[in-house]
Each structure stands twice: as structure tokens, then as C-alpha cells.
Amino acid sequence: MYFTYLFRELRRRHKQALLTALGLAVGVALVVSLTAYAGGVGKAQDEVLQSLYGVGTDVTVSQQRKLGDGGPQQFGMQPPDASEQGERFTRDAITSSPGQQSLTSSRVGEIAALDGVGAVTGSLSLTSLHVSGAFAEMQPRTQAAAGPDQGGFSQGTPRMAPIEVSSFSIAGVDPGNLGLGPLSAGETSAGRGLAAADANAKVAVVSSAYAKQNDLATGDTVKIGGTKFAIVGLVTLPSGSTSSDVYIPLAWAQKLSDNRNKVNQIYVRADSADRIAAVKREIKQLMPAATVTTSEDLADQVSGSLANAWDLADRLGRWLAAAVLAAAFAVASLLTISAVSRRVREFGTLKALGWRSRRVVGQVLGETMAQGLVGAALGVALGVAGAQIIAALSPELKATVGGGMQVPPGAAAGAGQAMRALGMSAQTVTVHLTAPVSLQLIAVAVALALAGALLAGALGGWRAARLRPADALRRVD
């Protein structure tokens, strides 16, 4: 009798029931899509941070310096003597990343000894520059223009020959501690990765992107600062990550760049997530001049379309979903109360027949819950469809972290091209937006729809429970 009455009643006022269910469905769909969207943006942010940060890293330590410190890189592009004017030359140099100051390796141990630190490793980021071209040729000046004491050598105006600059980035890593640091997010795609036994070996792992560009494979060699390194494997890093082109043992990186016992990046993992802030403070106390950033700090620096997408999801999305849900609950409640009001005589009759109030309320609740279930099913379907559309479109989002380094005034104009090759701009990562829908999200969405139905049923039921049979049946005599 209960279900017969329930379904017959819903069929009788099917338009109103459908409207109630649709209202709940729209609210639920919005919650599902926006939560999936926010989840996708969050996942994209994690991807960005991981690619910039490495997996498992909670804190990074580095020390910045102005590019002007120490003077610009000298490549010796002037001919040593007049006989070599116009002659071709090549120059190779291995330099630390210009904005970064070296730190002594002992700092790694000092940081490891701090409270709350789970693991530490250091790395050395370098750039190998290869400059080639022809020495400038001096255009002769007239004898009259030549000054005294020129030694018979006619100084003229140098005519700059074109130079070619190529470079690749190098990361010196600790092969015994690859779970943290630049290679932690990588996956070996060919050959093998570096191992603890490689600490002093002339071996290298190359990024698969760089290998593809330069037609390199395992078994080939790569020359760094005149030293050949055997490529033992290729590694694939997350798209958009700020990976290096070549990874070699830290000891060799230090030797080749004349940075013995030096690192320029320290990666730290805390014991637990709630110790991160404390670890950061301790490191700052130990190294006041250092730049100590957590993943949260990095997240705060993220700008670009990813950051905008996050703002949209977090602020507008959350409030929009809440507002639509509240409206859906209100519509469901009003329609239920209206339906109960139209059935006053019906409920009065049932009470006259001896139906207890709770039986009548149960009937009203059952009707609204049935509408809630339909609304939940529709809403989840719509929400999942919305999330799948976002995933199918997979819009590209860019995230930029940090800002460009300042070029101090007076830096040599001729070094400008080389400086650009060293990558002085802020790091921009590109990720594709997804919108993951989990079972948990679906469960929450269904629960919300049922909560709305329960609220509507409770209000309608309260109205029905308050009906006195005599009032319900009274007619105008």
C-alpha cells in the first residue's frame, strides 16, 4: 500500500515531481562538475609543483645573487693577436645557473641534523655553453688618425662576426639519494637510471626530450667540458617540468664546474606535513641569507591561467554551487509544502480513518525521497557528463612561477645572447586540465540530493502532521 500510494501520487503530479527532481539535479550536477573541475585544477597545480619541485620535496633551499656579481661570463671572443683576426674559434664553458650562489655541501649534513627533517639531498644545476664563430676583423684607420705609441699596429673599428651559441643544462645529482631532488619525478624510459655505485663514474642519464632532439640513445656519449660521459639511460620527466637535459653524478658536476664541495640547490623532505613550517623556520635560522621555499610558497607564486582557474574554482565555483543547491532545496521544499496543502482533504480523510500522523508524514517523506533519488541520479549523470566534457576539451593551462632575473646595467652587450641561452626568464609550465570524478564525490552528491529531499519532506511532513482531521474535512455549510 505504501509504495503503491507513493508511486501513484508521483505519477499523478509527475510534472511537479519532475520539476523538483530537476531542481535538485541541477544543484547536484553543479557540485559534481565544479568539484571535479576544482579537483582537476588542484591536480594540475600538484603536477606543476611536482615538476618544479620534484616528488616528495617539502622544502627547497637555494641562495640567489644578482647577475652582476662576479662580472659577466668571459668567452674570450677577441682575437689573441692580429694574425687570428677573422679566424674561426670555439669556446666551451660550464657555469652555474647565473642567479644562484653556490652553497657548501656541508650544509646538506647540517640541515639533515635539524629536527623534523626526514631526508636531504643537494644538487648542482649547471649550464654547458658552446660558443663558436669567427674572431672580429679590425677595419684599418688612416695613418693620420692613428695615435702615437700604436706600435706600428693600426687600431681600427672591430667588425663583429656572427657567433653561434648552443647550450644544454646539466644537473649534478647524488646517485645514492635519487628519491628526492631533480630526478625524483622521472621515469626511466630506456636503459637504467643512475645508481649509488655510479658516484664517481663517467656516466649520464639524458632526458628523453633532449635525446630525441639530438638523436641520442643509450650507449652513446655526451661531452661535458671535454669529458665524455656514457649515456646509460633515458629518463622521461613530467611535461612542462623544469628538467635538465643531462644528469651526471654530483662529484663530476662539481669537478667540471670547479665547484668542489658545492651545491646550489638543497631538497628537503620533512618527517610529516605538519612539520614543514617548523623545518622551514629552522633552516632560515641556520642559513639566514638562503631562499627557503615550501611547496605552499611556490603555490602562492603560481600565476598564469592555472592560478586564474584555481581562483575561479575556489571562490566563484564554491559559492555558485552553494547558491544553486540552496535554491534547489528551497524549490523542492516549496513545491512539497504546496503539494501537501492541496492534499489537505486527502490527509484529513486518512487521519479520520485512523492513520497516525507519523504514517502520513512517512508517506510525504517517501514521495520527496523518491524525487530526491531521481534528482541525484540525474544530477550525477549531468555532473559526470560535464566533467567529461572538461576532460575531453582538456584545455591547456599555463603556470608561471617566480619572475625574471634583473640584468644589471653595464653588462657587456656581446654576452646578451649567451645570457639568454642560460634561461633567465621565469619558469612557465604547461599542463592540461582534467576533471576527475571519484566515487566519493558521487556519494557526496547523492547525499546532498537526498538531504535536500529530506528537508523538503520534513517541512511538508510537518505541515501534514499539524493537520487536524476536523479542520481538514470542514466544509462551508
Partner 1 sequence: MLYELTGVTKRYVQRGKTIDALAGIDLTIAEGEFVAVQGPTGCGKTTLLQMLGALDRPSGGSALFDGRDLARLREGELTELRSHSFGFVFQAFNLIPTLTAQENIETALVPWHVGAAERRGRAEEALAGVGLVDRARHLPSELSGGEQQRVAIARALVRAPRVILADEPTGNLDERTRDDIVGLLEGLWRERGQTLIVVTHDSWVAARASRRVGLDHGRVEHGGEEELPVVDDFAMA
Report the distance separating Cα 193 and Cα 247, nearest Å: 10
What totals of helices (H) and strands (E) does the chain contain, helices first?
14, 17
In whole angstroms, give the CA distance from residue 228 to residue 268. Answer: 31
Candidate segments 4-12, 141-149, 193-201, 396-404, binder of partner 1 by CB under 8 A: 4-12
Q: How far apart are the first and last CA of the chain?
A: 34
350 binds partner 1 (CB under 8 A): yes
Residue 1 contacts partner 1 per CB under 8 A = yes
Decide: is 359 part of the binding site for partner 1 (CB under 8 A). Answer: yes
Query: Which region among 44-52, 260-268, 282-290, 349-357 touches partner 1 (by CB under 8 A)?
Result: 349-357
What is the C-alpha to C-alpha distance for residues 186 and 458, in angstroms, rounded to an integer?
55
> Cβ atoms within 10 A of the Cβ of 476, count?
3
The residues near 222 (Cβ < 8 Å, ≥ 6 apart) are 204, 206, 216, 228, 229, 231, 246
User: Quick check: 113 binds partner 1 (CB under 8 A)?
Assistant: no
Stretch that binds partner 1, among 38-46, 107-115, 200-208, 466-474 (CB under 8 A): 466-474
In whole angstroms, the minimum distance from the beta carbon of 462 to partner 1 comes to: 16
Instruction: Write out the three cell numbers for 15.
Output: 510534472
As measured in angstroms, the least distance from the Cβ of 32 to partner 1 is 34
Residue 356 sits in the site that holds partner 1 (CB under 8 A): yes
Q: Which of 144, 353, 392, 439 binds partner 1 (CB under 8 A)?
A: 353
Q: Which is nearer to partner 1, 5 or 319 (CB)?
A: 5
CB atoms closer than 10 angstroms to residue 401: 22
User: Shortest approach of partner 1 to residue 363 CB, angstroms?
Assistant: 10
Taking the least distance from each CB to partner 1, the nearer of 94 and 364 is 364
Our CB check for partner 1 shows the closer of 444 and 465 to be 465
Among 124, 117, 120, 119, smallest CA distance to 103 is for: 124
Does 466 help bind partner 1 (rule: CB under 8 A)? no
For residues 342 and 367, the answer to whether their CB atoms sit within 8 Å is no
Q: Please report whether residue 143 would count as binding partner 1 according to CB under 8 A.
A: no
Partner residues linked to 159 by β-bridges: 137
Which residue in 3, 4, 162, 440 binds partner 1 (CB under 8 A)? Answer: 4
Q: At 113, list the grid cell.
A: 641534523
| Choice between 9 and 198, CB closer to partner 1 | 9
Helix (H) or strand (E) holding 207: strand 203-207
Question: Could you say whether residue 351 binds partner 1 (CB under 8 A)?
Answer: yes
Q: Please report whether residue 352 would count as binding partner 1 according to CB under 8 A.
A: yes
Q: At what angle do helices 344-352 and 357-393 cross, to 10 degrees?
A: 140
Is-contact 45 343, C-beta < 8 A?
no
12 contributes a contact to partner 1 by CB under 8 A: yes
DSSP string, 160-200: PPPEEEEEEEEEEE-TT-TTSSTTTT-EEEEE----GGGTT
Alpha-carbon distance of 321 to 309, in angstroms, equals 16
Q: How many residues bind partner 1 (CB under 8 A)?
A: 25
Residues 125, 97: contact at Cβ < 8 Å? yes
- Binding track over 220-239 against partner 1, x by CB under 8 A: --------------------
Q: Which stretch binds partner 1 (CB under 8 A): 3-11, 175-183, 265-273, 383-391?
A: 3-11
14 binds partner 1 (CB under 8 A): no
Q: Smallest distance, Å, CB 453 to partner 1?
A: 20
Please select the residue that binds partner 1; options are 345, 389, 406, 438, rule is CB under 8 A.
345
Is residue 398 packed enough to be buried (19+ CB in 10 Å), middle (13-18) or exposed (0-12)?
Answer: middle
367 near partner 1, judged by CB under 8 A: no
Residues in contact with partner 1 by the rule CB under 8 A? 1, 4-5, 8-9, 11-12, 345-346, 349-356, 359, 468-470, 473-475, 477
